[in-house]
Amino acid sequence: MNVYTYSEARQRLSSVLDKAEATGKVLIRRQDGRTFALLPEVAKQSPLDVPSIKANISCDELVSLVRTERGRTRGWNYPTSSDADRRSARVAEEKPKYVARKGRQG
């Protein structure tokens, strides 16, 4: 471990900082005998920093997948695209079940 006097550290600050980064710790001793440690600060990474991936998926497909998975974890049952296709085909074949009234009788 390197020990520098206060005057040395002040005059060669750049090299002292480089040495602290390389070794992990540098001591600086003052004239009255007190010693101080100079440690490099470790940069914390965000837990959201994840490596990106290349995926051939559209924004709509991604949103649909996220909604489906969220629904599974919450107990909801989102229809799949094949269910939606069958439902829309069935609705197109059906006739309306009610007839709108023209006026109200009172």
Domain residue spans of the chain: 2-38
Which element (helix H / strand E) includes 65? Answer: helix 59-74
**How much is the pTM?**
0.42
CATH number of the domain located at residue range(s) 2-38 in this protein: 3.40.1620.10
**pLDDT tens for residues 68-105?**
888 777 766 655 555 555 555 555 555 555 555 665 55
Residue 42 to residues 24, 27, 39, 96, Cα–Cα distance (Å): 10, 18, 9, 68
Q: Please count the residues of the chain.
A: 106
